[in-house]
Chain A
Amino acid sequence: MLKNKMIHVILTVFFVGLFHSTSFADVKFKDNVVRLSPNFGTGSSTEATTRILAPFLSESLPGNPKVIVEPIEGGGGTKLARNLLKERGDGHRAGVLAILHITASLGRPMPIALNKLKNVGSFAFPTIIMVRKNLGLNDLQDVINYKKEIIIAASKPNAPGVSPLRTWLIANNVNHRIVTGYAGQPACVAALQAGEVDVTPLNAQLFMPMRKTYEENGAIPLVQNGLLNPAGGPDLKVDIPGKSVMSIDESWKKFTPGTVDSNEYTTFRFIQKSFPMVMHWAMSPDTPDEYLQVWRKSFLALFKSDGFKKYLEKTNSPTPVVISGEQVDETVKSLDQAKNDKAIQSVVKRLKKKTL
């Protein structure tokens, strides 16, 4: 009797599933085309990374649709976010909202409800903080001992790439000044190579394949922004062959343990935790659920694909930290909560200033 009942349940579930649910392969894309829209234009590292990933995404999506990279730039991502919020949302476009959530949590006013978007997933490569070779700075201990003002290049004072280092500099009263306005990380590196600045952040994905080139031109790694491991365990950082480059967290604990209980360290951990949101893929709030699920699965699958692994190997790139759509949902909530955290906000306020 029980056996019959179980068979009945199994058969019911099977047929209901067969006729009423949409399987991964059933999702079809009109004209077999999907669009991936980065929030920065042609020539930016966001757009470049999106272009690199497009063919691997195509392989991961059902029907292998053509992935068109179509930047929607403007307002540092505000325009793309607005477009996503108001578009019909048929599951054919995902936006790449690079660093938008992080900058918002670092005090940038955001006139849009980012938390309404449907999250596909996010990923990030650690950031390498580069320093001018002839300054003789090899780690953060050297920075403490450095007598002169440290000059940092960035696009904005509270840019996410440079903010983790600045929380440490502020906590330890290291004399520094930030020169802003550079259009992207390659421009910052050019300024470093020209001797205009002392320190600048650079995405590890760009740094690793170009490491020798940069070193030849006088730019070497000083420290790196490690990423909180979503699976727990030690922080994730880039393994640079032949050179031990500590993460800021490791350096902080090793060289300046006295400031680990400061508001600056709390803020640093908060930024570190939100850092996987650097390359945040999101869709319109109206996106049909079956499409969202397909995008989420394909997003995770693309990073595991053989093609992507071969690409990382060929270009000597580090493996990125990838978080699922569900993990992004959680991170977004924690970012929203942090906006009301007085300890964090007091440091965020200082990060917006250009000098110590």
Chain B
Amino acid sequence: MEILAAAVNGLGLFLNLELILFMMLGICIGMILGLIPGLGGLIGLGLLLPFSYTMDATTAMAFLLGMFAVVTQTDTIPAILIGVPGTAAAQATVLDGNAMTKRGEAGRALSASYFASIWGASISVLIFTLSLPVLRSVVKLFAAPEYFLVSLLGLLMAGILSSASRIRGLSAAFIGLMITTVGIPERSDFSRYDFGFEYLFDGLKLVPVVLGLFAIPEVLELLIRRSTIVRDNSEEVAVETKAIRKGFMDTIKNFGLIVRCSIIGTTCGVIPGMGAGAAEWFAYGQAKMRDKDNTLGTGNVQGIVAPESSTAAMKPGGLLTTIALGIPGNPAMAIMMVAFIVLGIRPGSEMITDKLDVTYMFMWTLVIGNIVAALVCLLLQKQMVKICYLNPKILVPVVICFMTTGALLTTGDYGDIWVFLGAGVLGYFFKRYDWSRISLIIGMALGKIIEIYLFIAMDRYHLSFLWTRPISIIFEVLIVLILASGLVKLYKSKRKSELLKKESKGDFSYSNKAISSPVWWIGIVIGIISAMALYVAWDWEPDRGTFPVFVSAAILVLVTLHTIQGALFGISAVPDRSEDGIADAGRRKLLFIGYIALLVGLIAIIGVSYAMPVFLLLVMTYEKVSLKISIPLAVFFFLFIEYLLKTVLHINFYL
């Protein structure tokens, strides 16, 4: 009853004109930051924090939380419409969101994502309310062994469930782990696999890798097919209110999934070090587990509602531990903690007892912020969806500029571009030859957490954590179940592939001669690279070398199994058919490489601000786009980089 009264009082505190106005201002800023690939809530919080110093504490928090609440709502717009996941929190959404857009269901996809966010935030607040009496005791049950095991569970789930081939899925997940071994580890002073490049000291960042892995193959496909993003005009036009209603109904139909994913998101918010990327992919893995028709990734709305509800739920979850225990679970919450200190708000038991109404005011801001942003987005949806019907001659160069800028916003260094392009090449081959990109990214999102907490657990408990901690044992049982289900599915899929081979139906392809299958050869190349990585890491001291040795050995074992399996039984895969039937696909691929080389060259010669507009003008002129279109776009990009990014947001490009 007291909790209910505090919730109502919190709403009362919220109903203050000045506070609402500042929250709306925060929401506007957050929506813009979410729309721009590469920016996000962290930059926004850093930007707005100094302005909050002079405000009254509750108004300042409404301002900051208003901004923070909505970034992950608008970041789905470029992800769904053009396949560019701008922030870590939109990486999983891009898969099904963009596929739905191609089917002409952008409106439904966007609407489902907005409502899923609202549900996610609301459910998380409910979880917060229910967990208040037991919060401290529950949080204390979790430590390094549990964080390690829950991350391992996520990795195995992704590896086993996300690909037609369990072995390829697991290999990709371990490749993701391997990527995270680049740079200086937490426990050592010596860098790993940096090849003398100081950019690599800090490892490979998630955003350029995700942009390259997912967005580059999409843009290449657009250029090859020379069609608008929406391919099937027979589907309902997305701008109708029917689409909005459909998206809403999708969230109602999948409410059970939303609840599960909201719990996942809230938990990820509480666990230190778990980012929005991990929350997204965990939720996606959860949806994938129940995807009996294997349609996730091909435009299934569950692939949107799951990650979106999870990331929205992460914020109240993160705020919960920051407020109650003074422990910020992620970088955004660390900034919030600075805000608390500066504004004179002391986290602790007071905030969940005497000042519970203030805490509820924060929670209301997160929920209401999501609702307001959803309404604004729905109002603007008609205009935004028009992007999907743009001529590819205009869209392709614009998206290339956006992707490259997004990648560059990571550190502003040339390294961002090389990582982005390298990931693009990998993404192309992985997509075309059925190696799971999802598993790879989940491996990357969880890699650091797995390494850190595995070694902390071993340092602290040695192996005894495996049998002395009750929560750990629960996770171990789940891991065993997942592995067992993987083995069962492996057996079933073998039978299925034999059946499909006989019937020659659908997209399923089977190659009797592994030697003629690029899928098989990619495995061998990965095996050679991992053997080299193993050789290099072998002599490193334990704090530096143990993890890469273990991971590269695991990849080597898995790809050896894949190679032997392929040689003995043939290779089964679900290939990408997007280039089929296009006569000059090869020439268009070369053209795409030419465009990228041109942009990189221009950036090197004249800098980012001028390179983007010049690139747009040159490419659009070559593509015979009217100057009436290309000049305003070039001017827009110049202003976008020079004024918005450099002058307003003070972002530096070290190029």
Q: A residues near B, CB below 8 A?
A: 31, 33, 35, 41-44, 48, 51-52, 54-55, 66, 68-70, 73-76, 78-79, 82-83, 108-109, 151, 155-156, 177, 179-183, 186-187, 189-191, 193-197, 206, 209-210, 212-214, 216-217, 311, 314-315, 354
In the assembled complex, B144 has its CB within 8 A of some CB on chain A: yes
Q: How far is the CB of B177 from chain A (nearest CB, A)?
A: 16
Find out whether the CB atom of A191 lies under 8 angstroms from the CB atom of B341: no
Find out whether the CB atom of A52 lies under 8 angstroms from the CB atom of B342: yes
Option from A41, A51, A156 in Cβ contact (under 8 Å) with B50: A51
In the assembled complex, B332 has its CB within 8 A of some CB on chain A: yes
Mask for B233-244, Cβ within 8 A of A = 1, else 0?
000000000000
In the assembled complex, B338 has its CB within 8 A of some CB on chain A: yes
Find out whether the CB atom of A51 lies under 8 angstroms from the CB atom of B338: yes
Find out whether the CB atom of A43 lies under 8 angstroms from the CB atom of B332: yes
Find out whether the CB atom of A74 lies under 8 angstroms from the CB atom of B201: yes
Q: How far is the CB of A132 from chain B (nearest CB, A)?
A: 12
Find out whether the CB atom of A179 lies under 8 angstroms from the CB atom of B327: no
Since A43-B42, A182-B186 are in contact, a sample of 5 more A-B pairs with Cβ atoms closer than 8 Å, ordered by chain A residue number, is A41-B331, A43-B332, A68-B650, A79-B202, A82-B198
Find out whether the CB atom of B46 lies under 8 angstroms from the CB atom of A217: no
Find out whether the CB atom of B459 lies under 8 angstroms from the CB atom of A195: no
In the assembled complex, B184 has its CB within 8 A of some CB on chain A: yes
Option from B199, B341, B452 in Cβ contact (under 8 Å) with A181: B452
Q: Which of B182-208 contact A (CB under 8 A)?
A: 183-184, 186-191, 198-199, 201-202
Instruction: List, in ascending order, chain A residues with CB within 8 A of B273's CB.
Output: 183, 187
How far is it, in angstroms, between the C-alpha of A69 and the C-alpha of B183 when the chains are bound? 24
Instruction: List, in ascending order, chain B residues with CB within 8 A of A197's CB.
Output: 460
Instruction: List, in ascending order, chain B residues with CB within 8 A of A52's CB.
Output: 338, 341-342
Instruction: List, in ascending order, chain A residues with CB within 8 A of B459's CB.
Output: 177, 179-181, 354
How far is it, in angstroms, between the C-alpha of A216 and the C-alpha of B350 when the chains are bound? 10
In the assembled complex, B643 has its CB within 8 A of some CB on chain A: no
How far is it, in angstroms, between the C-alpha of A58 and the C-alpha of B384 when the chains are bound? 40
Option from A35, A54, A210 in Cβ contact (under 8 Å) with B346: A210
Chain B at the A interface: SS class: helix
Closest to B342 in A: A52
Subset of 17 A-B contacts with CB under 8 Å: A33-B650, A42-B331, A43-B331, A43-B333, A51-B335, A52-B342, A73-B202, A156-B187, A179-B459, A181-B186, A181-B459, A186-B272, A186-B337, A193-B325, A195-B140, A196-B144, A314-B342
Instruction: List, in ascending order, chain A residues with CB within 8 A of B543's CB.
Output: 180
Q: Which of B523-546 contact A (CB under 8 A)?
A: 543
Q: How far is the CB of B186 from chain A (nearest CB, A)?
A: 5
Closest to A219 in B: B326
What bracket does the count of chain B residues touching chain A fall in?
Answer: 35 or more
Find out whether the CB atom of A75 lies under 8 angstroms from the CB atom of B338: no
Q: How far is the CB of B316 from chain A (nearest CB, A)?
A: 18
Find out whether the CB atom of B46 lies under 8 angstroms from the CB atom of A194: no
CB < 8 Å A-B pair total: 154
Instruction: List, in ascending order, chain B residues with CB within 8 A of A177's CB.
Output: 459
Find out whether the CB atom of A42 lies under 8 angstroms from the CB atom of B144: no
Q: How far is the CB of A185 from chain B (nearest CB, A)?
A: 11
Q: How far is the CB of A286 from chain B (nearest CB, A)?
A: 16
Find out whether the CB atom of A78 lies under 8 angstroms from the CB atom of B348: no
Q: How far is the CB of A171 from chain B (nearest CB, A)?
A: 23
Q: B residues near A, CB below 8 A?
A: 42, 46, 49-50, 53, 136, 139-140, 142-144, 183-184, 186-191, 198-199, 201-202, 272-273, 325-328, 330-335, 337-338, 341-342, 344, 346-350, 452, 455-456, 459-460, 543, 647, 650, 652, 654
Given known contacts A209-B341, A213-B347, A315-B341, is B331 in contact with A190 (CB within 8 Å)? no
Instruction: List, in ascending order, chain B residues with CB within 8 A of A108's CB.
Output: 189
Find out whether the CB atom of B325 lies under 8 angstroms from the CB atom of A213: yes
Find out whether the CB atom of B342 lies under 8 angstroms from the CB atom of A210: no
Find out whether the CB atom of B348 lies under 8 angstroms from the CB atom of A194: no
Find out whether the CB atom of B143 lies under 8 angstroms from the CB atom of A70: no
The 3 closest A-B pairs by CB, nearest first: A43-B331, A213-B348, A74-B202
Find out whether the CB atom of B189 lies under 8 angstroms from the CB atom of A156: yes
Option from B139, B349, B455 in Cβ contact (under 8 Å) with A194: B139
Instruction: List, in ascending order, chain B residues with CB within 8 A of A83's CB.
Output: 654
Given known contacts A156-B187, A181-B186, A186-B334, is B272 in contact with A210 (CB within 8 Å)? no
Instruction: List, in ascending order, chain A residues with CB within 8 A of B650's CB.
Output: 33, 35, 66, 68, 70
Closest to B351 in A: A213
Find out whether the CB atom of B46 lies under 8 angstroms from the CB atom of A69: yes
Instruction: List, in ascending order, chain B residues with CB within 8 A of A43's CB.
Output: 42, 328, 330-335
Option from B186, B198, B272 in Cβ contact (under 8 Å) with A190: B272
Instruction: List, in ascending order, chain B residues with CB within 8 A of A74's CB.
Output: 183-184, 198-199, 201-202
Find out whether the CB atom of B348 lies under 8 angstroms from the CB atom of A216: yes
Given known contacts A79-B202, A210-B347, is B189 in contact with A183 (CB within 8 Å)? no
Instruction: List, in ascending order, chain B residues with CB within 8 A of A182's CB.
Output: 186, 452, 456
- Among B49, B183, B189, B344, max chain A CB count under 10 A is at B189
Find out whether the CB atom of B327 lies under 8 angstroms from the CB atom of A190: yes
Q: How far is the CB of A97 from chain B (nearest CB, A)?
A: 15
Find out whether the CB atom of A183 lies under 8 angstroms from the CB atom of B452: yes
Q: How far is the CB of A161 from chain B (nearest CB, A)?
A: 15
Find out whether the CB atom of A186 lies under 8 angstroms from the CB atom of B348: no
How far is it, in angstroms, between the C-alpha of A214 and the C-alpha of B190 when the chains are bound? 34
Find out whether the CB atom of A213 lies under 8 angstroms from the CB atom of B332: no
How far is it, in angstroms, between the C-alpha of A151 and the C-alpha of B144 when the chains are bound? 14
Find out whether the CB atom of A42 lies under 8 angstroms from the CB atom of B334: yes
How far is it, in angstroms, between the C-alpha of A121 and the C-alpha of B367 when the chains are bound? 45
Q: How far is the CB of B393 from chain A (nearest CB, A)?
A: 37
Instruction: List, in ascending order, chain A residues with CB within 8 A of B272's CB.
Output: 183, 186-187, 190
Find out whether the CB atom of A76 lies under 8 angstroms from the CB atom of B652: no
Q: How far is the CB of B58 from chain A (nearest CB, A)?
A: 16
Q: How far is the CB of A292 from chain B (nearest CB, A)?
A: 21
How far is it, in angstroms, between the C-alpha of A83 and the C-alpha of B455 when the chains are bound? 32
Instruction: List, in ascending order, chain B residues with CB within 8 A of A54's CB.
Output: 50
Option from A33, A55, A69, A214 in Cβ contact (under 8 Å) with B326: A214
Find out whether the CB atom of A55 lies under 8 angstroms from the CB atom of B344: no
Find out whether the CB atom of B334 lies under 8 angstroms from the CB atom of A48: yes
How far is it, in angstroms, between the C-alpha of A194 and the C-alpha of B136 when the chains are bound? 9
How far is it, in angstroms, between the C-alpha of A55 and the C-alpha of B190 when the chains are bound? 36
